[in-house]
Chains A and B, each alone.
Chain A
Amino acid sequence: RKEVEQDPGPFNVPEGATVAFNCTYSNSASQSFFWYRQDCRKEPKLLMSVYSSGNEDGRFTAQLNRASQYISLLIRDSKLSDSATYLCVVSKNDMRFGAGTRLTVKP
């Protein structure tokens, strides 16, 4: 079993849609959680950290459920520019990356 699992997608949604991604992790001792964004053939970039109480950054909302060991990312009012692969990242002593969920937002 992979340490960090994500639905690979692809998710194809129209502009303005709301889309949610989930990620599960196996190490219950994990302490830090992140969502990274990776555009096609580019490097990953931090989208947002995920805090225990949940956090929001504009159209993006991240939630953490430690009891069930999953993390979620909600994107509201999707834009064409949101098309990318979203990587779930979990860390204890090092960072473990999920394989990513691909999102395509269409006009």
Chain B
Amino acid sequence: NAGVTQTPKFQVLKTGQSMTLQCAQDMNHNSMYWYRQDPGMGLRLIYYSASEGTTDKGEVPNGYNVSRLNKREFSLRLESAAPSQTSVYFCASSEAKGQEVYNEQFFGPGTRLTVL
């Protein structure tokens, strides 16, 4: 099992460009999450999906959109990238259903994004 995979691993964008970060999990988990990690800030939740077909905003959703394509895949889109979106982005999945977050979250290897 690959666990949680993310593409790309690295990306450099110019301000105003758009891109989609891809995430897939093979653990049959219901819930999937997108976080960003910035120095001194800890991971912050951008969006999550409690089940296929549902998505909800997290702590820092502005400037992002998501799609839960199916149970396996959860993508994050930056429509018009800004330098403030320079960060490391992690996708995660867990068995939790709905608002339950008592179970372990499994993380992908991350995408390092730089916006110039």
Contacts and interface: CB of A to CB of B under 8 A. Distances in A.
Interface stretch (A11-19, A41-49, A59-67, A73-81): A41-49
Given A43-B108, A94-B58, A99 B41 contact: yes
B104 A46 contact: yes
A71 interface: no
**Interface class of chain B by DSSP:** loop
Given A43-B110, A44-B107, A94-B48, A100 B42 contact: yes
Interface in B60-116: 90, 99, 101-102, 104-105, 107-110
A87 B101 contact: no
A54 B110 CA distance: 32
Contacts of B41: 99
B20 to A, nearest CB: 20
Range for the number of chain B residues in contact with chain A: 20 to 34
Nearest to A43: B107
B13 interface: no
**Interface class of chain A by DSSP:** strand
B109 A97 contact: no
Nearest to B88: A41
Nearest to B112: A41
A31 B103 CA distance: 12
Contact of B43 (A8, A31, A97): A97
